Chain A
Amino acid sequence: MRRRENTNSDKSPETTTRTPEDSSPVLKSTRSHRHSSDYPAFQFLASEKSREQRTSPDLLRDGRRRHRNTTFLKRMRRVGLASIPFAIFLLGLSLLSVGFFTYVENESVLAIFITGRDAVRVSTSDEPNVTQTSATTVRESATIPTETEGKLVVPFYYQGDQIGTIRIASAEIEVGVYQGDTEDQFRLGAGHYFDSFLPGQEGNIVIASHRTSYFRDLEYVEVGDVIEFETTYGIFTYVIREISILENKDFDTITDPVDQEQLTLYTCYPFVYVGNAPNRYVVRCDLTEAKLNT
């Protein structure tokens, strides 16, 4: 800055000339000179007017005002230009922040901890398309032993979705069946063991609930009683084949795969017991009829 000022002061004598006619020191300015173009006060000093006029206080004040008016816009422009790098920095930082938080929300491992987005349901091998394919395969090879009406299309149920309703008229049981067998489902009704089959898929369909709530009256069912399982894709009717009491350690036999379609209902046993019940009450049923939605 100081260097520029020195340069200006050095240049000034070069741009001022004395005319032979006038012995007084007159400043003759060119349009290209920096001071002349920048500051009207200098133009005023460089004019051909008399010395008295040039030193007049009014004119000097007027020159200063004009000088201020013209330089205001230049100063604004200079500030504006100086702020460009700062604005770019802010813009870059904003874009980085938006990108980072969008990544966190949608792509990163943290995404599953954020609600209000579609990807909350974590993809697994049980994606709807996969299940749909297996359902189609089952349909083609299905040999449901009794009357079958309509076309079997088993939908995919997410954890917590309602699959349907089970009705056992002989024990006056009517309970909603939900996907999954955690406490969340048991609060609502009966829970379908996630890894077991669904009605119509020719496998073991395992459903459980608490002995103190929805399956309280399961102790009153008998072999031969009819169980109706109404799902979102059809109505399946079963007949109770076997009732057994197993110890906790034999739990695996409840979920064991079978060759033909079987509905397995179970709950804790004894039904009236203070403390964690040691046994399981297991009801196994065979499919007799399937009415599929058209």
Chain B
Amino acid sequence: MNRLKGALSVLLSVLIALSSMTIVVSLYLQATVLSEAFYLDIIATPTYVTKVKDAILMDFRMQSSYSGIPEEVFAETVEESDLHTMLRNHIHSVVLYLNGQAEYTEPSYPIEKIIAPLRSFLDEHAGENGYVATPEQYALLDAVAADTAEIISRHVCLIDLRLVMNIGMFQQALSMLRMVANAYVAGLVVFLLSIGLLAALYRRNLLMWLRGIMLGLWFAGAAFLVPATVLAATGLTDRVAIVTPYLKYFVDTVLTQSNQFFLMFGIVLFIVATVTLVYLGYTKREKQLDKEKFIHTAIKIT
């Protein structure tokens, strides 16, 4: 009977560990991967949009080399405020798609903002060199403007879902992601149910009941804390091989903050459970000693 009770206790502790892990992972997904606020916080960093613009200007240098149009002309076509608005809209669209609430729409920079300065340059260039720009040249210019708009849109597109959204494996992973993100209710139910069953198992022993809960939480805490600590120690999250500065900042921040999330929960669960278990160990021993002392006294009296 005691063995069965012990086995049940272990099983319930495992369930507590698994359900608490599910709750933490679910909270993580809700608070980071599927949260618009999380991404907006990253791009709200003062230098972030400037970094995006610098990367765009770097590509404009290439565009200038191919088209013969000075970099300054291209630089006039892009404003940081426009980039910020585009980034916000893009993140909004991505998060809606990830949550299954809307179709994904690609970011696109208004080509009109590019065509005007390019045509102005062509007219000026034609005037200086004594020729009149032909419709063919204007058409070529429009093609350059379309390429330029594509460059801007590409840099604004932080998470390019076009590349993966038609891949079956991605869709499977996405549906699993959504499922886990919504699993916190199920996790909570299993968690409370396990606690209730443990209470029923140890009706007259509060300490054993607490011990069963804390054992589960200790394992869950360790399962988060140890890998997160090792990952932080290796510094892998800061060494992702991305050359583009703003993209590297974005990916580094997402990875680092994700790791910190698990580290924080791991530390809390681990410390609380460890302290409680040690305390319970002493308390249990004290209680046992008290019982034995009572017996001794009884013997003494007789």
Question: Is residue A142 contacting chain B, with contact meaning CB distance below 8 A?
Answer: no
Shortest beta-carbon distance, A40 to chain B, in Å? 11
Which residues of the partner chain A approach B137 to less than 8 Å between Cβ atoms? Answer: 274-275
Interface 9-residue window, one of A109-117, A170-178, A196-204, A239-247: A109-117
Q: Are B299 and A45 in contact (CB under 8 A)?
A: yes
Top 9 nearest A-B pairs by Cβ distance?
A: A275-B140, A210-B65, A97-B230, A97-B227, A93-B226, A115-B241, A183-B62, A115-B239, A116-B239
Interface 9-residue window, one of B94-102, B107-115, B283-291: B283-291
Residue of A nearest to B66 (CB): A276
Which residues of the partner chain B approach A114 to less than 8 Å between Cβ atoms? Answer: 236, 239-241
Cα of A71 to Cα of B288 in the assembled complex, Å: 12
Q: A94-B230, A115-B241 are in contact. Are A39 and B222 (CB under 8 A)?
A: no
Question: Is residue A120 contacting chain B, with contact meaning CB distance below 8 A?
Answer: yes
Question: Is residue A54 contacting chain B, with contact meaning CB distance below 8 A?
Answer: yes
How many residues belonging to A are interface residues under a CB distance threshold of 8 Å? 51
Q: Are B65 and A5 in contact (CB under 8 A)?
A: no
Question: Is residue A78 contacting chain B, with contact meaning CB distance below 8 A?
Answer: yes
Question: Is residue A82 contacting chain B, with contact meaning CB distance below 8 A?
Answer: yes
Interface 9-residue window, one of A98-106, A128-136, A251-259: A98-106
Question: Is residue A212 contacting chain B, with contact meaning CB distance below 8 A?
Answer: yes
Residue of A nearest to B228 (CB): A97
Q: A27-B299, A45-B299, A276-B143 are in contact. Are A98 and B230 (CB under 8 A)?
A: yes
B296's contact among A25, A45, A102, A274, by CB below 8 Å, is which?
A45
Q: A5-B291, A42-B296, A276-B143 are in contact. Are A113 and B240 (CB under 8 A)?
A: yes
- Can you report 17 A-B residue pairs in the complex whose CB atoms are below 8 A from each other? A8-B292, A12-B299, A71-B289, A75-B282, A75-B285, A93-B222, A93-B227, A94-B230, A98-B230, A100-B227, A101-B231, A102-B234, A105-B234, A186-B62, A187-B62, A275-B137, A275-B144
Q: A8-B292, A35-B296, A97-B230 are in contact. Are A274 and B285 (CB under 8 A)?
A: no
Shortest beta-carbon distance, A173 to chain B, in Å? 16
A210's contact among B66, B129, B140, by CB below 8 Å, is which?
B66
Q: Are B68 and A274 in contact (CB under 8 A)?
A: yes
Secondary structure class of chain B's binding surface, majority of residues: helix
| Residue-wise interface mask of B (51-71) relative to A, using a CB-CB cutoff of 8 A (1 in contact, 0 not) | 000000000011011111100
Q: Are A212 and B226 in contact (CB under 8 A)?
A: no
Which residues of the partner chain A approach B227 to less than 8 Å between Cβ atoms? Answer: 93, 97, 100-101
Which residues of the partner chain A approach B288 to less than 8 Å between Cβ atoms? Answer: 1, 5
| Residue-wise interface mask of A (256-279) relative to B, using a CB-CB cutoff of 8 A (1 in contact, 0 not) | 000000000000100011111100
Question: Is residue A137 contacting chain B, with contact meaning CB distance below 8 A?
Answer: no
Q: A8-B292, A27-B299, A54-B300 are in contact. Are A94 and B67 (CB under 8 A)?
A: no
Shortest beta-carbon distance, B116 to chain A, in Å? 15
Cα of A276 to Cα of B68 in the assembled complex, Å: 8
Cα of A104 to Cα of B230 in the assembled complex, Å: 13
Cα of A116 to Cα of B236 in the assembled complex, Å: 9
Which residues of the partner chain B approach A183 to less than 8 Å between Cβ atoms? Answer: 62, 65
Q: A5-B295, A94-B230, A97-B227 are in contact. Are A274 and B140 (CB under 8 A)?
A: yes
Q: Are B293 and A89 in contact (CB under 8 A)?
A: no
Q: Are B292 and A39 in contact (CB under 8 A)?
A: yes
Shortest beta-carbon distance, B35 to chain A, in Å? 24
B68's contact among A41, A42, A102, A272, by CB below 8 Å, is which?
A272
Residue of B nearest to A94 (CB): B226
Cα of A260 to Cα of B287 in the assembled complex, Å: 96
Question: Is residue A50 contacting chain B, with contact meaning CB distance below 8 A?
Answer: no
Which residues of the partner chain A approach B295 to less than 8 Å between Cβ atoms? Answer: 5, 8-9, 12
Which residues of the partner chain A approach B141 to less than 8 Å between Cβ atoms? Answer: 274-275
Cα of A86 to Cα of B13 in the assembled complex, Å: 14
Cα of A114 to Cα of B144 in the assembled complex, Å: 35
Which residues of the partner chain B approach A115 to less than 8 Å between Cβ atoms? Answer: 239-241
Q: Are B69 and A274 in contact (CB under 8 A)?
A: yes
Which residues of the partner chain B approach A45 to less than 8 Å between Cβ atoms? Answer: 296, 299-300
Shortest beta-carbon distance, A213 to chain B, in Å? 6
Question: Is residue A293 contacting chain B, with contact meaning CB distance below 8 A?
Answer: no
Shortest beta-carbon distance, B236 to chain A, in Å? 6
From 64 to 91 in chain B, residues with beta carbon under 8 angstroms from any chain A beta carbon are 64-69
Cα of A105 to Cα of B240 in the assembled complex, Å: 10
